Amino acid sequence: MNQLVRHLKVSTFSLTPLTPSIGAEVGDIDLTQPPDAETIEGLRAALRDWKVLFFRDQDITTEQHLAFARRFGDLEVHPFAPSKPDYPEVLAITHDKDSRGRENTWHSDVTWREVPSLGSILRCLESPPVGGDTLFADMYAAYDGLSDAVKSRIEGAVAVHDFAHFRKALRKKGKSDAEIEAFDRAYPMVEHPVVRTHPETGRKAIYVNAAFTQHILGLEPEESATLLAHLYAQAAIPEYQCRFRWAVNAIAFWDNRSSQHYAASDYWPAVRRMERVTIIGDRPV
């Protein structure tokens, strides 16, 4: 077990790591009961250490899902993705024979926002008989593993992020040019450091992703594309990853500042239904 966790007084729940660096399953916890302050502090520390926490057999209501997430920060309303009826803060991620899974690009959530997400809490309502696993990558390890030459090239570099990914889906849904322009005005492209320093751990993590990053400022397009491709490829290295097999009432709570994720889209035409609540973070530095 990792140093920090061993020294933590995690008295109210148990932790079982999935790998040496990323992913731990939280046991001896019942999220249908509001966790006490000590438990929340313990979970916050465990998230710092493990980047993603998993829970199983948590038959919680939507209200309990929201209330749990609020213990870690304010919640965001996603401007584009479909939400659960009457719950603007709950993203409904449903795929079936008419809608193939699209979350199969390595990314961190909503990096196209000026203030992206601290973390996301995803709950499984219906899982395919097999497939639909989610993979997570430790972006501290990805940074640490870069060559010194690449580290020095990206020191202080800034990248532009955009919700381009969603723009296509909006067009397909029949949104007019005027409506899309209004979204462009509300969510202009943003700049974030290529390497971000985690506000709680002080560790450096790669903070560009294949879904939302457009280019690195001040580089020729080709140079930027080559460097970004190298940085994106780090998330795909198995030694930096863990992989979670879903079941109904399983929950994943990941840190968007230190990890990226990828939902394997291998289950079509089976049904996979998930609900995500997203905690607002701070401006990356």
Least distance in Å: CB of 103 to ligand OGA? 4
26 touches, from Mn ion, ligand OGA, none (C-beta below 5 to 8 Å by class): none
Handedness of CA 116, 118, 123, 128 (dihedral sign): positive
For residue 108, give the nearest of 242, 243, 274, 235 by alpha carbon: 235
| Whole-number Cα distances in Å, 117 to 51, 163, 260 | 13, 14, 12
For residue 134, give the nearest of 173, 91, 98, 105 by alpha carbon: 105
Phi-psi region of 224 (alpha: psi -120 to 50; beta: other; left: phi over 0): alpha
For residue 107, indicate whether it is catalytic: yes
**Which residue among 107, 196, 257, 272 is the active-site one?**
107
For residue 230, indicate whether it is catalytic: no
Question: Based on CB atoms, which residue is closest to ligand OGA, 39 or 213?
Answer: 213
**Which residue among 113, 192, 261, 272 is the active-site one?**
261
Question: Based on CB atoms, which residue is closest to ligand OGA, 81 or 219?
Answer: 81
Enumerate binding residues for ligand OGA (CB under 6 A). Answer: 93, 103, 109, 120, 122, 134, 261, 263, 274, 276
Give the CB-nearest residue to Mn ion.
109
Spatial separation of the C-alpha atoms in residues 209 and 212, rounded to whole Å: 6
Least distance in Å: CB of 202 to ligand OGA? 26
For residue 162, give the nearest of 114, 117, 226, 206 by alpha carbon: 114
For residue 109, indicate whether it is catalytic: yes
Least distance in Å: CB of 122 to Mn ion? 8
263 touches, from ligand OGA, Mn ion, none (C-beta below 5 to 8 Å by class): ligand OGA
Least distance in Å: CB of 211 to ligand OGA? 9
When asked if residue 109 is in the footprint of Mn ion (CB under 5 A), the reply is yes
When asked if residue 76 is in the footprint of Mn ion (CB under 5 A), the reply is no
Contact 140, 204 (CB under 8 A): yes
For residue 192, indicate whether it is catalytic: no
Catalytic positions: 107, 109, 261, 276
